[in-house]
Structures are given as structure tokens and as C-alpha cells.
Amino acid sequence: MFEKQSGGIRKALLISLGLHVLIGVLFLVGVNFSTPKRPTQAASIIEATMIDDGMVAAQAERLAEMQANRDAEQAAAQAKAEAAQKAAEEAERKAAEQAAAAEAARKAEQEKAVAAQQAKAEAERQQVLEQQRKAEEARKAAEAKKQAEAEAARKAEEARKQAEAEAARKAAEAKKQAEAEAARKAAEAKKQAEAEAARKAAEAKKQQEAEAARKAAEAKKQAEAEAARKAAEAKKQAEAEAARKAAEAKKQAEAEAARKAAEAKKQAEAEAARKAAEAKKKAEAEQALKDLEALMGGGSAGGSSSAASAAEVDRYTGMIIAAIQRNWLVGPTMVGKQCRINVRVAADGLILTIGQGQGDAEVCRSAELAIRKTGTLPMPKDPAVNKQLQNLNLTLIPRL
């Protein structure tokens, strides 16, 4: 496109140059450079000739006409030259306008191309950024999935190890009990056999001493053999029983854990009820004592009120521990351990803060999770008792 515009400009310049040349030629052709001839004078002789006035007038008229024609030709040539000059100037103006338009078009085209390149570069940059963002999101998702799978595998492995340890412990305990039972039965069988042999020997002695001696020896031998047989049989049965109990122990471990959890919940509720009953009974006894002291002219209301508040604190403390126990997942390795932990509670029972537990690390970590899961604790309506329960130091003992 730019080459086409440059060709148009060259064409306009050539036309302008041609018009200038033409104007110059016309101007040169139209100008008469000759001077009028004057009549020559005789050098020596002057002859007088009569001149006809009509001829002189005609000659003057012809000269005037020739001058007018020359003036008209010069005016026409000058007008033609001026027209050609104006045409050349117009051509130059149009050529300049065309050149300016071509330059403007070239600049616009160049700017358009630059803008298109910049837009393309920006689009490619945005595409690269989008690809990088998607790649980062995919990497984070894969990493999160990997971490979740690793955590699940770790927890599953931990649960499996705990179950196997519990099963092994119960199997060993069952085997030990079975072996002890077999030894007891063997000793008892031997004792019974010896007693039976002694009885038979004494009875046989009364009938015939010689026969009694023989039969006593034979009976003793048979008794010892029978005792050995029974002992071997008892041992075999004990080992079989131990193997059966070990297999059952592994199968019953999870069921036993669930049963003990339910039992612990039931025991906690029963313990809370027992403590409440004891507190009520204690309060009634203290009230009776107060009445007796009043009849005797002594006693104080403050002591009874303090005892009632202490009983109410104990009762609600038991209820709070029971609520936490219901949300506590206890493992076999946690039995026999404990954790003492501070809990700050709002007046409506909402748990505000949980302090650092003191005791077994596993038990404290599990107890903290149970407290957070409980969320809201039971609180009394009595303002004084409620105030005492807002800062609790709980000793939590896991129970299966």
C-alpha cells in the first residue's frame, strides 16, 4: 500500500514539472523580441515626394491593427501561461495533499500494526499467566490430596497397631490364665488320684495285707499314670482353649471397646446421679443438724449454705465430666493414665478457653479434642455456684 502511494506522488510531481515547462515554452513563443524597422534616410539627396493622405491613414490603420493583434496574442499567451501556472500550483497542492494523506495512512497503518502486535503479546502473556495459575492450582490440589491420604494412612496404621497390641495383650493374658488353670487342674487330679489310691490301699490292707501291698503298688502306678494322662490332656485342652480365646479376643476387641464406652457413659451418668443423691442426702443431714442446733440455741446458716453450694459444685462437676466423656474417643493405650486441664466457661456454659494439659501427652491431646467437641457445658442457675464453675480444673481419666 505504501509503494502504491509513493507511485502516485511521483506521478503528480512529473505532471507539475511538465506544466511548468509548457508554461515557459508558451511564454517564450508569445513574446515578440523584434524591434520595429525605421526608414533609412538618404545620405545626400533629398527628394520631395507627395504623400497621399488616404494612403497614410490606411498605413497607420494597418499598423495599429498589427499592434492590436500582437497585444492580443501576448495577452492570450500570458493568460495561458498564468492558467498553466495555476494548474501546476493546483497539481503541486494536490500532490502535497496526497503525499500528506499517504504519510498519515502509512503512520496509521504502522500504529495499527504496532497495536496489533502489542495486543497479541498481551494476550499471549495473559495466556501464560493463566496456564501458570492453573498449574499452581493443580499442584496445590495434588499436594493437599497427598497430605490427606498420608494422614488417613497414618491414622489407619495407628488404629491397626492399637488393635493388634490389645489383641496380643488379651491373648497373652488368656494363655496365662489357661496355663494356670491347667496346672491347677493337674495338681488337683494328682491329689485326688493319690487320695483315691491311699483309700484303696487302706481298704485292701484290711482284706489281705499281701494282696493289699500288691494292689496298693499297682493302684499307685495306675494313679500316677492316670494323673500324668489327665495332666497332659488338661495341658492340651488349656492350650487349645488359649488359642481359641486369643482368636476370640481379637474379634471381640472392637466390640468390647464399644461396649466399655457405652458402659463408661452409663457409669458416668450413674456416678453423677449417685453424687447428686449423696449431695442431697448430705444437705438433708446438714439441714437436720442445723435444725437440731437451732433447737439447742446454736448453729449457723452460713455453714449449711456453704455445704449446699459445695454439693452443687460437685454435682455439676460430675455432669460436666460426664458430658465430656460422651464425646471422648478413648484408645486401649490410654487406660490407666490421666490429664489435668483448666477450662474457662461462660455463664451460659460456652467454653471460652482450654489450658495446657498436664499429664500424659496422648490423653491430654485426646481430652482437649473431646472438650472442644462438647462445645457447651451444663451450668447451674444459682449465680454463686455458676461463678465457681466458670474456672474449672478438671482431672480427666479415660475409661473404655
By three-state DSSP, how is residue 112 classified?
Answer: helix
- The arithmetic mean of pLDDT across residues 227-254, rounded, is 75
**The pLDDT of residue 261:** 59
Task: Answer yes or no: are the C-beta atoms of 362 and 330 closer than 8 Å.
Answer: no
- The arithmetic mean of pLDDT across residues 182-195, rounded, is 87
**The pLDDT of residue 81:** 87
By three-state DSSP, how is residue 393 classified?
Answer: strand
In degrees and rounded to multiples of 5, residue 68 shows phi and psi of -65, -40
User: Dihedral through CA 289, CA 290, CA 296, CA 298, nearest 10?
Assistant: 130
> Residue 131's Cα: distance from chain center in Å?
19
Task: Answer yes or no: are the C-beta atoms of 390 and 346 closer than 8 Å.
Answer: yes
Positive or negative, the Cα torsion across 82, 84, 85, 91? positive
Tell me which residue of 382, 389, 253, 255 sits closest to 321, measured CA to CA: 389
**The pLDDT of residue 318:** 93
By three-state DSSP, how is residue 300 classified?
Answer: coil
Looking at the DSSP assignment, which residues form a beta bridge with residue 345? 351
Q: How confident is the model at residue 300 (pLDDT cuts 50, 70, 90)?
A: very low
- pLDDT 10s digits, 9-24: 677 677 777 777 777 7
**The pLDDT of residue 299:** 42
**Residue 120 carries which side chain, given as an amino acid letter?**
K
Q: Which pTM does this prediction carry?
A: 0.29
State the chain's mean pLDDT as an integer: 81
pLDDT at residue 314 above 60? yes
- pLDDT 10s digits, 95-126: 888 888 889 999 999 999 999 999 999 999 99
**The pLDDT of residue 258:** 61
The answer to which of 24-38, 106-120, 196-210 has the lowest mean pLDDT is: 24-38
C-beta neighbour count of 193 within 10 angstroms: 20
Task: Answer yes or no: are the C-beta atoms of 389 and 379 closer than 8 Å.
Answer: yes
Task: Answer yes or no: are the C-beta atoms of 319 and 342 closer than 8 Å.
Answer: no
Looking at the DSSP assignment, which residues form a beta bridge with residue 358? 340
Helix (H) or strand (E) holding 339: strand 339-345
Question: Residue 297 region, left (φ>0) first, then alpha (ψ -120 to 50), else beta?
Answer: left
Q: How confident is the model at residue 91 (pLDDT cuts 50, 70, 90)?
A: confident
- The arithmetic mean of pLDDT across residues 116-144, rounded, is 92
pLDDT at residue 169 above 70? yes
Tell me which residue of 226, 234, 230, 227 sits closest to 179, measured CA to CA: 234
pLDDT at residue 42 above 50? no
**Please, what are the domains in the chain?**
254-272+316-400 (3.30.1150.10)
